[in-house]
Amino acid sequence: MRYFDYAATTPMSTGAIEAFENTAKKYFGNANSLHDYGAEADQLLSQCKYHLSQIIGGKPENIYFTNGGTEANILGIKQLLSKRTGKHIMISMAEHNSIQQLCHTLELDGYEISYLPFNENAQIDVEQLESMIRQDTTVISVQHINGEIGAIQPIEEVAQICRKHDVGLHVDCVQSFGKMEISHVIEQADSLSVSSHKIYGPKGIGFLYMKDIDQHSFEYLLLKGNTMDLPSIASFTVAAHEATERMQEESVRMKELREIFLQELKPIKQSLTVYEARSHHQMASVIGMGIHGVEGQWVMLECNRQGFAISTGSACDVKYNQIPNTLKALSVRPEKAKAFFRVSFGKETTVQDVEDLARFLINMTFNYKKAINVSVEGG
């Protein structure tokens, strides 16, 4: 079985596994305890925060560990809301399901949500964003990199608008952390979310980077009052270090794999739609596409049957059998959206892998079209 779903999750690296095991054995003390075991654990915790802050270009005291990207998204946005009086929130239509669900809940509390579509470049239109800001706009939330098609959003421009209108900015960096530089986002955002399992670290750990937090808030109590999962934090830190070390090399390799894959698919180019941004606004490792007239779910099952693990979108949407939020943001017709599937590359993906997947998709498409034509002629 060959894995092409790295945008959903990644296998833990050997270094991350070793760090988890060693920390669990040696640093089992509670970092809040005052004895030596607790002091050693607390020291390791501080070291992890320091190393992560160096990676992102931030401050260790602004890092708050969470149980993943979803919790970081929710607590970050709720913390920003607690410091402002407005009742208007703006998010892109393609935001992660955790933010979409949070906004549905906030509507019950009297908040009004405005949803920003994508333009033809798979980005939010910053002029439209600014025109929709109101006196009571309090928070804007934008994904740095879209997890379904890999489009990179114009965070700097959004941040400038937020500062101009005194609006809080939350940025979901779950898909970008460890794959591209995010220090410029750290400088711009008021809160920022990151997850470990996208970069070959353990599941169930991430962090919220919060520039200014109310230490009397419920969110602060949740973030500071719990017993830290130190093995996961240490493992996450090692995975982040490893990902950063190979970031430039992997970025070049992912671009090469993307070019090879799309080149190989040229025989079915007329039957294929690739959803992407312009090259300098595109994460190369994520490819969202659809074969005309063929349901993405069927493509995924056929690929799985032949030993290729792909996806029909974000794992958090797939389980609800929903049309991907990104295609809604792009105003893709529901019938066409059903053809969507996603291929994403990672550190174990080889040229041979992408060539084999491309060949299978070509043969599958030709066979499917042939079967449809036979069925039509026979009918």
Q: Are 208 and 223 a contacting pair, CB within 8 Å?
A: yes
Q: Are 52 and 270 a contacting pair, CB within 8 Å?
A: no
Does 316 participate in catalysis according to the annotation?
yes
Q: Of 48, 103, 162, 316, which is the active-site residue?
A: 316
Which residues 6+ apart lie within 8 Å of 27 measured at CB?
A: 40, 41, 44, 230, 231, 234
Q: Which two three-digit tokens encode residue 71?
A: 């919790």
CA 257 to chain CA mean position, Å: 20
CA distance 140 to 129: 9
Q: Which of the residues are catalytic? A: 316
